[in-house]
Structure 1
Amino acid sequence: MKIIQRKRGISHPMIRTDFSISQKNEKEFTPGQGYKLALVSLGCDKNRVDSEIMLGSLGQKYQMTEEPMEADIIIVNTCGFIDAAKEESINTILEMARFKTEGSCKLLMATGCLTQRYGEELLGEMPELDVILGVNSYGKLDEYVERFIVDRQRIIDTAWSDVGVNDGRRLLTTNFGSTAYVRIGEGCDNNCTYCIIPKIRGSYRSRSREDILREVETLAKAGVREIIVIAQDITMYGRDTEGRQTLHELLQAMDRVEGIHWIRLMYMYPEGIYEELLQTIAGSPRILNYFDMPIQQISDTVLRRMGRRTSRAAIEGIIGRIRELMSDAVIRTSLITGFPGETEEEFEEMKAWLAQMQLEKVGVFPYSKEEGTPAWHMKGQLKDSVKKKRRGELMLVQQQVSLAKNQAKIGRTYEVLVEGRNEDGFTGRCFEMAPEIDGEVLIRSDKELIAGTFVNVRITDALEYDLIGEIDHESGK
């Protein structure tokens, strides 16, 4: 979707518990009509789950459409994590606002992290918005839509709540319904000095094991083959409710649900990974040996400034233990460069470490200065040009590592989940690839492949991030 390059100023967070009523929308809006609803979801996988809950809640009353031009109600589920995400959210709201004059839109709503953080300012600065809800208001979504249809008055609710997680009805938005994200907790207690999430989402709250397993069983019966377990940090699971880490017990119960073929784990902070968890993963053929660990930095001095409760030695120890238990383990991480005070020596240390460790999947992000975080006030803020240059150097190192690792896979056969097709053939993912972030497998086949099924693919060629292969007829699958 084309994004309008128009900016609005947002200064600082203001969160109030109230409703503000002002101008009326002049378009005709009569209760009881069959309205069409479109939703644009931005940001992370946790936001995607929120969007699916909203669609599940409203989908029984309103007709879903993927065309905003045709929609009577448009919801933008925003992200407010870093500056780039905030700008994308604002621009997307403005893009959707066009359909109030050029299309059928009668109600434009914004939800999510940006609205939780800046709801009052959005109310004042964006008259295009009719309803503004924070991250704790999704349970009142039906009520607020109906209220606006009847009263035609603007609504804002960014009230804070620390209630437990309960995902409710969902309408899946993942490809072909073969993959689904399952959120096991909300909020975060890590309090890294660069991160605003605890102030937006609150402290960590584990979802009940019964609710999670009930959802997994429902998804399995609906034909979902891959479950992706998510939270801000899934290793925290159980600490608040049972006083100890119980992720391994939850996974063991998930592993017993019939119909699920892959269980993928996302967002495991290295300092939270423990031996029982590793043994559970290593002992199950369905829990993938895929470790998504946000390391962010490797210099001990920078890690301390980031507020991370780990060290280079501890991180290397966890990586070593993973590789000792699982020879085919894939480690994905994210790194932040240009953190306040990052010296040339600290950057070179991370660059050399990246080449040394030969990690399978790496994303690198320039530090984003976020108001409301301790790092906002730190001395030694680096120029954007320096941060971008350092990111480029790190990505070049990783690109070479990734290409070499992929080329070593030529001749091997991988189980691949078929997801679609393009002009060159069919596309899918092997266990090493999470959706939308890790590349894909291009499958050459003279027979039609069905999305949502698994096939064995022999790799015949490799690029930096993608693999190319053909059906392995000798595998018997």
Structure 2
Amino acid sequence: MSNKLHIVSLGCTKNLVDTEVMMGKLQNFELTNESEDADVIIVNTCGFIDAAKEESVNTVLSLHEQRKEDSVLVMAGCLSERYKEDLAVQIPEVDIFTGVGDYDHIDELLTEKKSRFSDEVYLIDGAQRVVTGSTYHAYIKLSEGCNQACSFCAIPSFKGKLNSRDLDSIAKEVEGLVAKGYYDFSFVSQDSSSYLRDQNIKDGLSLLIQRIELIEGVKSARILYLYPSTTTISLLKNIAKSEIFHNYFDMPIQHINDEMLGMMKRGFGKEKTLELLNFMRALPNSFVRTSFIVGHPNETQEMFDEICEFASNFGFDRINVFSYSDEETTPAYDMDNKISEEVIEERAEILGAITAKCMEKSLENEIGETIKLVIDGESDEHEYLLSARNLMWAPEIDGEIYVNDRTKDEDLEFGKIYKSRVTGLVVDTLIAIVDNA
């Protein structure tokens, strides 16, 4: 088989880890950014909501149109898993279909040129990954699947129930990455605060924190995707006590109206959700990120107004806004009182404007502060500006910082941590000066 590979990872960072596993199994291939030169093209798809599904299908069809004769086109991941009975008929352009259970067998599937959908849950355990996008940061996957029953979410229907990785497996992966020079880690899963609950351990994340703190060379870490009803004040206190894990709290609450939270089957109502959020916000140097869904069936104008007022006043650092997507296999799909697409779009636009103001206020609060940042490379804005990230922030999603000066003459190194002072804000990007090079 010829050996040029073009691979595309769509959707979330959890998908990215799975893509990196496939790249690890195919290290005998030469990676190419030009799909028309590739002998093998792999698209790791997302099947979460309509927009993601459409992007996945369009990407596959577009790459098919561009590919050279005799190349192999592979459709992998969540969308392929979710609609495995239909896609082989609907998209004959694809040569190999595979889902979410065979990432570490991708080399075998290519050799056999055969589709496969294994029933086993795939948990990375000793597999060699090719970490992409950074020389110092890596995502670490805690588990697969989810035990929650949110009304709008189809993930459990094709990802299955929660399956947590063993703590030793995670620690070994982190140790191996540290040995390669990585020092900053984001721990991810569908429901990170439920980690190890499938093994009858209720405070798995606290055990994870303790274990990761023992690994020499880990300098920075954060946990993404906390779920309200499985997050405890005790866990938040343990994060706050850690010298490695930032007070970075990413909890998608989806709504704040008590009645709507019940319809969404979110487990906790408004009172307990607020208790957690207020505790996070009160911790020193905390960073609080959330997500809202607008347009869920039965969402009244009053319920939406409550979201807007809460988002405007709570003090979130970042907010994601999602438009409700009507997904088959979910309880919400069968609900009455669906909201029109026009109203959903209007509400998403209104709340989006509020979230932009929240982010602007959060960034303004950083001006004059001394922070730790990492230089990622040259910026796209100007040849004399460097692109950096606040070490606390999650990569990609929380923004970048432009470094335009320093107080010493040494060249700044990419991937190195510097103490820096934030001096200003241009539109939605902070400007900083490095105090000690």
Distance 1:427 1:210, change over 3 A: same
Secondary structure, aligned partner of 1:157: coil
Q: In 1, Cα distance between the equivalents of 2:124 and 2:387? A: 34
AA aligned opposite 1:37: L
2:424 matched residue in structure 1: 461
Structure 1 residue 147 corresponds to structure 2 residue 112: yes
User: CA–CA distance in 1 between the matches of 2:227 and 2:428?
Assistant: 24
Letter in 1 for 2:58: N
Aligned to 1:342: 299
Q: Is the 8 A contact 1:358 1:401 kept in 2?
A: yes
Secondary structure of 1:307's partner? coil
Partner of 2:102: 137
Q: Return the TM-score normalized by structure 2.
A: 0.95
Any idea what the Cα deviations from partners look like across 1:364-406, whole Å, max 9, x if unmatched? 1111111111111111111111111111211222222322232
Distance of 2:186 and 2:136 partners within structure 1: 11
Mean Cα displacement is larger for which, 432-441 or 398-407? 398-407
Task: Note if 1:174 corresponds to 2:133.
Answer: yes
Do structure 1's residue 239 and structure 2's residue 202 form an aligned pair? no
Shift of 1:315: 1.1
Kept after mapping to 1: 8 A contact 2:296/2:339: yes
Query: Equivalent residue for 1:380?
Result: 337
Instruction: Provide closer, same or farther for how the CA distance between residues 333 and 465 of structure 1 changes in structure 2, counting only shifts above 3 A.
Output: farther
**How many Å separate the matches in 1 of 2:61 and 2:146?**
31
Question: Equivalent residue for 1:449?
Answer: 412
Q: Quick one: distance in 2 between partners of 1:73 and 1:378? A: 43
**Shift of the alpha carbon at 1:464?**
5.8
1:23-62 Cα shifts (integer Å, max 9, x gaps) = xxxxxxxxxx441111110000110000000000111x32
Kindly provide the amino acid, as one letter, of the partner of residue 10 in structure 2. L
**Partner-residue secondary structure (3-state), 1:445:** strand
Q: Which amino acid aligns with 1:452?
A: G
* Counterpart Cα distance in 2 of 1:259 and 1:402: 32
**Cα distance 1:441–1:289, how it changes in 2: closer, same or farther (>3 A)?**
same
Q: Does 1:199 align with 2:162?
A: no
Residue 226 of structure 1 pairs with residue 184 of structure 2: yes
Give the conservation status (yes or no) of the 8 Å contact 1:335–1:362: yes
Matched-pair contact (CA < 8 Å) for 2:402–2:430: yes
CA distance, structure 2, for counterparts of residue 204 and residue 312 of structure 1: 25
1:160 deviation in Å? 2.5
Q: Does residue 279 of the first structure (1) align with residue 244 of the second (2)? A: no
Query: What secondary structure, in the 3-state scheme, does the structure 2 residue paired with 1:458 have?
Result: strand
Q: 1:465 to 1:257 in 2, by over 3 A?
A: farther
Q: Does 1:99 align with 2:66?
A: yes
CA contact (8 A) 2:229 2:267 kept: yes
**TM-fit CA distance, 1:65:** 2.1
Q: Structure 1: which 5+ residue stretches go unaligned?
A: 1-32, 149-154
- Secondary structure at the aligned position of 1:416 is classed as strand
Larger mean CA deviation between 128-137 and 386-395 belongs to 386-395
1:119 is aligned to 84
What does residue 390 of structure 2 align with? 430
1:82 to 49, 74, 89: 49
Give the drift of 1:67.
2.1
Counterpart residue type for residue 70 of structure 1: D
* Count of residue correspondences: 431
Distance 1:420 1:206, change over 3 A: same
Cα separation, partners in 2 of 1:323 and 1:404, compared to 1, 3 Å? closer
Contact 1:71–1:105, Cα closer than 8 Å, also in 2: no
CA distance in 2, matches of 1:270, 1:167: 31
Give the Cα–Cα distance (whole angstroms) in 2 for the partners of residues 218 and 347 of structure 1: 47
Tell me which amino acid in the other structure corresponds to 1:451.
F
Give the 3 Å change call, closer, same or farther, for CA 300–343 of structure 1 in structure 2.
same
- Alpha-carbon contact 1:38-1:66 (below 8 Å) kept: yes
- The 2-side partners of 1:123 and 1:271 are apart by 39
Deviations 1:311-335 (A, max 9, x none): 11111101122233x2211100010
Q: Is 1:57 the counterpart of 2:15 in the alignment?
A: no
Q: 1:115, 1:134 within 8 Å by CA — same for their partners in 2?
A: yes
- Partners of 1:318 and 1:381 in 2: how far apart? 30
Alignment of 1:361-376 (within 5 A): 361-376=318-333
Cα distance between partner residues in 2 of 1:41 and 1:94: 15
| Deviation of the 1:198 alpha carbon | 0.5
Match of 1:400 in 2: 357
| Matched-pair contact (CA < 8 Å) for 2:109–2:116 | no
- For residue 321 of structure 1, the aligned residue among 279, 291, 294 is 279
3-state SS in 2 of match to 1:74:
strand
CA separation in 1, counterparts of 2:166 and 2:393? 28
Is 2:151–2:332's contact at 8 Å kept on the other side of the alignment?
A: yes
Looking at structure 1, the residues matched to 277 and 426 of structure 2 have their Cα atoms a distance apart, in angstroms, of 25
**Do the aligned partners of residues 394 and 140 (structure 1) sit closer, same or farther apart at CA in structure 2, a change above 3 Å counting?**
same
Amino acid at match of 2:301: E
**1:59-113 deviations in Å (ceiling 9; x for gaps):** 1x3222222122100100000100000010001001111233xx36610001000
* 2:362 aligned counterpart, secondary structure: helix
Contact 2:203 2:235 in 1 (8 A): no
What amino acid maps onto 1:184 in structure 2? L
Give the deviation of 1:250 after TM superposition: 1.1
For 1:145, the aligned partner's letter is L
Which residue does 1:472 correspond to in 2?
Answer: 435
SS in 2 for 1:332: strand
Given residue 146 of structure 1, which amino acid in structure 2 is its aligned partner? Answer: T
- State the shift of 1:465 in Å: 3.9
Work out whether 1:352 is the aligned partner of 2:309. Answer: yes
